[in-house]
Every structure is written in structure tokens, then in C-alpha cells.
């Protein structure tokens, strides 16, 4: 996973409401708070809706510092792999009308089912052969 995606993904997991992640709440809070202070001048927000890490104004050095912070805190907690159980949910909305023609064309170009499926929710699509 590229470095930027890693930092954004871990910070999003640390501020999510996922209860089954193997990172204790104090470690999750520390990861976000420390990465926040590397990017922003003020204190980290307490409102969960505002706890979003924005790295657009950061530099490569900022990104490297966030990576080192995340890895260090996870290592200190004895966590070598992030694990969580979040059941697959149904799509929250249908594709936009503008996207449907593209989706249909892609379906004709690549009619085979994807190799990666969730076996618990893999239901045959009646529109596919």
C-alpha cells in the first residue's frame, strides 16, 4: 500500500466506530492526535465528525513522520497487523443515471464474474451469464 494511502487508511480506522478492530481506543486516539499535531498548528478536535486527517498541505517529510508515528505506536502496543470484522453492507445507493451506461458497457466488455468475491454475500446476478 502506498504511504499516503497507509496513513489515511489507518487514521480513518482509528477515528471510525469500528468496535472490532484490534487497536485499543487509547492507541487509536494517540495515533490520530499525534499525526494531527504533525500536520496542524492547533489541538486535535474532540468532535468525532471533525477528526479527519487532511494531508493536502503536508510535505513528504510530514508523511514520513506520520508513518513513523503510526508504526511506532502500533509496535509499542504489540500490534503487527490491523484486524477488524466489519460485515459487508448493501450499497447505500444506486449508481447515478449518468454512470449506468458506462457500467453496462463494462459489464459487456468483462462478462466474467470477478475472482474476488465475498462468499457470504455472493449472490448470482440474474443479468449476468
Residue span of the structural domain in which 58 resides: 3-76
Q: Are 7 and 71 in contact (CB under 8 A)?
A: no
Distances (CA, A) of 53 to 34, 40, 61, 88, 107: 11, 9, 16, 25, 36
Residue 29 lies in a domain: yes
**The pLDDT of residue 32:** 96
31 φ, ψ to 5°?
-60, -50
Tens digits of per-residue pLDDT, 17-76? 888 899 999 999 999 999 999 999 999 999 988 999 999 888 999 999 999 999 999 999
The domain total for the chain is 1
Residue 30 CA to chain centroid, in angstroms? 18
Residue 9 lies in a domain: yes
pTM score of the predicted model: 0.66
Amino acid at each position: 500500500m502506498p504511504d499516503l494511502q497507509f496513513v489515511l487508511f489507518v487514521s480513518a480506522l482509528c477515528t471510525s466506530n469500528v468496535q472490532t478492530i484490534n487497536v485499543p481506543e487509547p492507541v487509536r486516539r494517540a495515533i490520530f492526535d499525534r499525526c494531527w499535531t504533525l500536520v496542524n498548528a492547533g489541538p486535535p478536535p474532540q468532535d468525532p465528525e471533525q477528526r479527519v486527517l487532511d494531508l493536502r498541505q503536508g510535505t513528504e517529510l510530514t508523511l514520513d513522520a506520520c508513518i513513523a508515528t503510526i508504526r511506532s505506536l502500533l509496535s509499542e502496543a504489540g500490534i503487527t497487523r490491523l484486524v477488524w470484522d466489519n460485515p459487508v453492507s448493501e450499497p447505500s445507493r444506486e449508481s447515478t443515471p449518468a454512470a449506468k451506461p458506462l457500467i453496462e458497457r463494462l459489464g459487456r466488455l468483462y462478462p466474467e464474474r470477478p475472482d474476488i468475491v465475498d462468499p457470504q454475500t455472493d449472490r448470482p446476478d440474474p443479468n449476468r451469464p
